[in-house]
Amino acid sequence: MRAYFMDDLPGDQRELHDSGRTVPDEMLDKLGVLRWHIPVDAEGKWQSEVDKIADARSYKNRDIVLNAKEGLGDTFEATMKRFYSEHMHEDEEIRYIIEGSGFFDVREFTTDEWVRLHLSAGDMIVLPAGIYHRFSLDMGNKSRTMRLFKDEPKWIAYNRSTDTDTNPFRLDYVKAVQGVAVGA
């Protein structure tokens, strides 16, 4: 996984949009973004490593989604547009990339700049509840991704608005980030 600040230049969301400013691990830690690299291997050893993380975080369910024209058909463009709208969730978002690649963009709390995380096969991330983020495929136009859930599989996005700014999960996230920033 590679993390950097996005540039503000117009263009296809699937392009790198690399500002040339790297984001250090310490900043991702402060934002609450957890990450691992678990190489995908033909023997399936990666599954036991993912299971260990899932067990430690009390994830009981999972599914695998194919984000690609071949997997989504006529809904591909609309789905990609929906995923790229800035939003938050009331639970963690945990993803393991099995094949392909894409971007998770998260808001840096103090500046509101986009931090772009370029994930490829073997990368796993956890985005905390309440963090503003979005997802896009890269120019490869494909990712096969395992999604993990504490309970039944669900994906409820709350698009950024004045209402989400006062959502209790957002407020808890802001307090947590401010606590890390003050103690750093």
User: Which residues lie below 8 Å from residue 20, measured CB to CB, with a gap of 6+?
Assistant: 4
Question: Does the annotation flag 89 for ligand binding?
Answer: yes
Encoded tokens for 15: 């392009």
Question: Does the annotation flag 87 for ligand binding?
Answer: yes
Question: Does the annotation flag 118 for ligand binding?
Answer: no
Question: Does the annotation flag 17 for ligand binding?
Answer: no
Q: What is the residue type of 101?
A: S
If you ran DSSP here, which 8-state letter would residue 104 be given? Answer: E
Cα separation values, 49 from 46, 53, 119, Å: 5, 7, 18
Centre a 10 Å sphere on the Cβ of residue 87 and count the other Cβ atoms it contains: 20
Question: Binding site for Ni(2+): residue ranges?
Answer: 87, 89, 93, 133
Question: Binding site for Fe(2+): residue ranges?
Answer: 87, 89, 93, 133
Question: Binding site: residue ranges?
Answer: 87, 89, 93, 133
